[in-house]
Structure 1
């Protein structure tokens, strides 16, 4: 038997499992390691937070997908890779041997360096943890006061979704940024996003740095305290800490890969947000992970069968669709921005089409 181990059930690995189920290689055993039986789809998270989708619509069923692919699913979190012994260490489980390995574990918004965050904050990533914590809060909050740390597109999208979901309870939703919110957007897209935030009643607190979280809310540098009973960390997403101990070549903690998506160890691949495309750097976005899936699938098979690997060529730009809380969305590409309900319909169509692949 040749053993392929897929660490993480991210978008790319989910698609690889689907492809493998349709065209497996004899004599190859596939194992998937993931901390849970499902993997949330990031594109539908804001819609889930806003109440447009239920949790089952958000999650990819890895149990059913692994069964379709003839793979085994290990319910646990990977904690390390031993390159010499070709083993993946898993929390609460025996180590798993591999001949080929691929890593697709995304990134985390955990802020361990911020006092009080581990006890009082909720990281926006990993998505599964956030979705569960949000479900609990939405069901019980009576006088909601929510703070989102990080005024980028992801933070703003979550702020609008939260404000819409809690609109019947007169929520206080505050978006906090240490500099200028939405600075990564072009002027037109930024203006539309700020108008949408204002329409949803979201307060924007700029040039404000958080010093600590307490039981009562958010402490800012300078002593000001912002009352909050649900604090979301959506700033400073970073690689998972255990990657630094693997001995793989890294860039700022991300696994450096070549055009074939292989690391400096040719037996280990990396895809999605946890990978750094050294040959053609790109921002962290799910669209790249989706496009990497057929390349990873082909290259895993090529290495096993002695075939020729092929390069992944990331697109220069892509259509960015951002939910605006209500069933409305903003679209931006090549610096041009549009907004409105029709674009939410387009986003909903694209997201549901992606999920239907796993039915």
Structure 2
């Protein structure tokens, strides 16, 4: 591959899984003549795969975090701490809160999504979105340190919501604090997995004392309860949202082609602007739509790394071909998990050890940077 003839700036917005792996690979094989810059609101980026284990008390808070300061140093990247607010595609700059515009020749976006629900009355004041993960983890850590009886609720009956409420219930039961745990959905819960796997999850929810409310609408969230449209009130001191995940609003200002707010990309992970790439949950694979899942972000990293290098030298790019299905490993509260692929489920302690091995192996790539060179 030809090296770039002049110094070029590659800017990465967000410390998501794809970008973390790109930075690691860049540190192992840097490209002369390229300046790398990472923009992220904070110095760490949480790994989503271990969040339920943290909520359940199996992992410490710091075990979730990828240290972006160390990773930037390893890769030779300049780390800018601040939230991106816009992209000027004409001037090729990124607007970052508290900083001068950041110029780029090539740009990649990997900022994840948010599960904030601004349209729901009281959510902004009395609930915590599950994504972004960092603020959620901090709020949960404070709540779990209390000693009073706890009422918790998760809005959203998908896999993520079920994992969270099971983890919460497990931890609070372990500390003799659980008074009530509720999973709420405005439709049928657990439809993203097969019927057999869904039934196993429902059995575990029942075993942990979780009440599942389906086909109900929320009218308002208060500091200590949730009021449903039918007038029923659900006690909840800690309410979180795991439904309605959406793209960050600022992307709508960029002029990039979007699909329901997500950046539309082609098979090379390029947006409507060829020098702007996007990966992870914030991207929409227009040519092969897929659900939002971390496994895609991880596997996109190799293609993104290769194509960023190719772009700087006008070389041919590699396509990203997502798999049609993927292994789902779902935490069940305690140190047990459920695995499902092609509608075939397996559950138990062995599945937890398998999930833990995969998660720890992923994180070890960033914990042991000094030893890989």
Sort the TM-score into its range (normalised by shorter chain): over 0.9
Please state whether the residue corresponding to 1:30 is helix, strand or coil.
Answer: strand
What are the residue-to-residue correspondences of 1:1-359 with 2, within 5 Å?
A: 1-167=7-173, 168-171=175-178, 172-359=180-367
Distance in 1 of aligned mates of 2:106 and 2:124 = 35
Counterpart Cα distance in 2 of 1:116 and 1:337: 38
**Is residue 148–residue 177 contact of structure 2 (8 Å, CA) maintained in 1?**
no
1:11-51 deviations in whole A, cap 9, x for unaligned?
00000000000111111111111110000001000001101
Cα offset for 1:95?
Answer: 1.7
CA contact (8 A) 1:144 1:169 kept: no
Deviation per residue, 1:134-182 (Å, 9 max, x gap)? 1111112511100111111100000000011111224111101112111
Contact between 1:112 and 1:118, CA under 8 Å: does it hold in 2?
yes
User: For 1:310 and 1:186, how far apart are their aligned partners in 2?
Assistant: 33
Count, aligned residues: 359
Residue ranges of structure 2 left out of the alignment (5+ in a row):
1-6, 368-373
Q: CA deviation at 1:217?
A: 1.5
Q: Say which SS state the counterpart of residue 335 (structure 2) adopts.
A: strand
Q: Which runs of 4+ in 1 moved over 3 A?
A: none
- Unpaired runs of at least 5, structure 1: none
Alpha-carbon distance in 1 for matches of 2:237, 2:286: 41
Task: Select between 6-15 and 222-231 the one with higher mean Cα deviation.
Answer: 222-231
Instruction: Say if 2:155 and 2:185, in contact at 8 Å, map to a contact too.
Output: yes
Q: The residue matched to 1:183 in structure 2 has which SS?
A: coil
Q: CA deviation at 1:215?
A: 2.2
* CA distances 1:86-144 after superposition (whole Å, capped 9, x unpaired): 11111122221111000000000000111111110100000111111111111125111
Q: CA deviation at 1:330?
A: 0.4
Equivalent pair of 2:262/2:282 in contact (CA under 8 Å): yes
- Rounded to whole Å, the distance in 1 between the matches of 2:166 and 2:358 is 21
Distance (Å, rounded) in 2 between the aligned partners of 1:137 and 1:144 = 9
After TM superposition, the structure 1 stretch with the greater mean CA deviation from structure 2, 245-254 or 175-184, is 175-184
Shift of 1:184: 2.0
Q: Is the 8 A contact 1:142 1:169 kept in 2?
A: no
* Alignment TM-score, normalising by the size of structure 1: 0.99
TM-score by length of 2: 0.95
How well do the aligned residues superpose, as a CA RMSD in angstroms? 0.9
How far apart in 1 are the matches of 2:235 and 2:52?
24
